[in-house]
Chain A
Amino acid sequence: MNRINQLFKNKKDILSVYFTAGYPNLNDTNTIIQSLEKNGTDLVEIGMPFSDPLADGPTIQASSLTALKNGMSISKLFEQLKEVRKTVSIPIILMGYINPVHKFGIEKFINKCAEVGVDGVIIPDLPFNEYYEEHQQLFENAGVTNIFLITPQTPDARIKLIDDNTKGFIYMVSSAAVTGAKKGLSEAQLAYFTRVNNLNLKNPTLIGFGIGDHESFTEACKYSKGAIIGSAFIKMLSKSSNFENDIKKFISSIRNN
């Protein structure tokens, strides 16, 4: 059983943290992952920076731009990740846009993920149909999970189709928004979470977008197995001069207020 399934089998209130590889500095990747694990993060999502991240708001756009200026690339990230599995045991997911992956070569990318111990990927602009028709076998053979997003506008039938064809978890985008939307969850959002829960999916869900503090994290956990924090974490990193200390404080503030 891979690390993602293992995690969801054993835990609830799962805290997943997203950060951009190569930000704030090129070689911070492993320090940040280690510090996240040490302080009780259950899952990390590492963003592969892209010049034109169209589902991201200003915070992740800016961190991507800095990371690219720092010299981050997919090959560079794989080099860094070779080291990380020596000390880190929580699941690692890579998240990024299709063009850099396409340029790297999808097959080569997936095989490399398996080789360095990446458990899953999220490629928001690789549509489900193309994955299903062209790439599913490749991912499954390599043992790399492809995670799909659903949104408040996704029809029930499509949610079920996605659920039938993925193993791991479903990324429940909390609202119609790009990343870094304002914090807090509205009645309408809670109704959407309930609607999805009532579909009795075989996969667990994590809620992302608009989660950035103890209150929104706790609320999200009532409706799913856990939640994902991205922009709020990156904002914290952008101001930090002592990662280990500040990451500890940040994770603790999310978990315990």
Chain B
Amino acid sequence: MANYHADKKGRYGRFGGAYIPEMLQPNIDDLSARYLDIINSEEFQKEYLSLLKDYVGRPSPLYYAKRLSEKYNTNIFLKREDLNHTGAHKINNTVGQILIAKKMGKERIIAETGAGQHGVATATACALMGLKCVVYMGETDIERQAPNVVRMKMLGAEVVPARSGNKTLKDATNEALRDWICNPEDTFYLIGSVVGPHPYPDMVARLQAVISEEIKVQMKEKTGKENPDYVIACVGGGSNAAGSFYHFLDEESVILVAVEASGLGIDSGETAATIALGDIGIIHGSKTYLMQDDDGQIIEPYSISAGLDYPGIGPQHSHLKDTGRAIFLSATDDEALEAVRELTLLEGIIPALESAHALAALKKMKFNKEDNVVITVSGRGDKDLETYMNRFHLK
């Protein structure tokens, strides 16, 4: 059976690794040496599970979406990560990493954020633990995700605008890495997705794996079956997809579907469909599929969804693409918006723009009537109301 997980060097097939300047090497070596022992310790597990249950509000429901199922003539279950505290799956990872940071004696937490969900989840975990928090966020994203900026500030975080490039997630990540280079002793970089140098992709996937762990149990309760037939999730860096797939990777009967954001269209020049367009390169310390030009310069991505607006993708997903273990689709801005409206009107759930890309896959696939299809609703749409107001002419 193929191995879909990281090896000791953080390689997923030909992807992953840790391409970092020497300035970051001691921090990465320290974290690589300790993260598994910490995560597997009884003390961590006890505290992490207790926070997931009582603070995050897990398990999140697996909801049978009756009207949506009728429309697509199959059985659709929604994994409701939007119901977590702070409104998205991101908090699963931040409460885990904050415990690791504390264990390592770090006092200052830095993070990058795109849609602001990871920034909010990090600021929340820092408030909970009494740690200093600095969040880097692209200036473009600060404008289009204003409510999350207010939340982070209320939670006591300093929000620093990233002003290079397109002023989005990639640029915020660059700034966070520069901060870490300048503050190697007291600072922990709390990465929000399954990207970055090893051990981050593996560490974040393990902390998000609770999503698929719960799906397995809930599926059995609801249908009596061991596994769903499909698991569908959106992918930018790919943390909710990594968590949704984790416990199904070795269950080859389960079809895994990742949906990228193609912006105005794959060939429009305004897209974030990394797998569809990318070739192999190195971004933020990891070898992976990447949107780059013929000279190896990174192409600025575009998506209406700030959380998917990233020119790379987690190295594990690149490996899932190479091995054929997962199917990669893409959805445009318009298709995502249509999916927002559909879910809102059929089920009374307003999803985040990111999650809407996963829902948009329904129109692109053929299911049997008896299939059980799980779609992860990674976040709620509160942060996107400004966009919805404009695009749906609700002013």
* Residues of chain A whose beta carbon lies under 8 Å from any beta carbon of chain B: 50-52, 54-55, 57, 61, 65, 68, 73-75, 98-104, 124-128, 130, 148-151, 153-155, 158, 173, 176-178, 181
Interface size class of B (residues with CB under 8 A): 20 to 34
Please indicate the chain A residues that have their CB under 8 angstroms from the CB of B183 in the complex.
Answer: 176
Which of A73, A127, A149, A150 is within 8 Å of B19, CB to CB? A127
Question: Residues of A contacting B174 with CB < 8 Å?
Answer: 52, 54
In this assembly, does B161 line the interface, its C-beta being within 8 Å of a C-beta of chain A?
no
A247 to chain B, nearest CB (A): 28
The interface-forming segment of B21-29, B225-233, B331-339, B358-366 is B21-29
Contact A151 B178 (CB under 8 A): no
Contacts of A178 in B (CB 8 A): 178, 181-182
Interface residues of B in 184-232 (CB under 8 A from A): 184-185
| Distance, CA A153 to CA B295, complexed state (A) | 33
Q: Are B25 and A98 in contact (CB under 8 A)?
A: no
Does B283 lie at the interface of the complex (its beta carbon under 8 Å from any beta carbon of A)?
Answer: yes
Q: Is A103 within 8 A of B296, CB to CB?
A: yes
Shortest Cβ gap from A120 to chain B (Å): 16
- CB–CB A73/B184 < 8 A: no
The chain B residue with its CB closest to the CB of A74 is: B295
Residues of B within 8 A of A176 (CB): 23, 181-185
Bound Cα distance A210, B207 (Å): 39
Chain A nearest Cβ from B105, distance in angstroms? 15
Give the number of A-B contacts (CB < 8 Å). Answer: 102
CB nearest neighbor in A for B279: A103
Q: Give the residue name and chain of the A residue nearest to B164 (CB).
A: A61
**Contact yes or no, A149 B182, CB < 8 A:** no
Known: A51-B297, A176-B184. 12 other contacts (CB 8 A): A52-B170, A54-B181, A57-B178, A74-B295, A99-B296, A103-B292, A124-B22, A125-B285, A149-B23, A150-B22, A153-B25, A154-B22
B294 within 8 A of A: yes
Considering residues B18, B164, B177, which has the most beta carbons from chain A within 10 angstroms of its beta carbon?
B164
CA A130 to CA B286, docked complex, whole Å: 13
Chain B residues near A61 (CB, 8 Å)? 164
Between A and B, 8 residue pairs with Cβ closer than 8 Å are: A54-B177, A54-B284, A99-B283, A103-B281, A103-B295, A125-B21, A127-B25, A130-B19
B23, A98: Cβ atoms closer than 8 Å? no
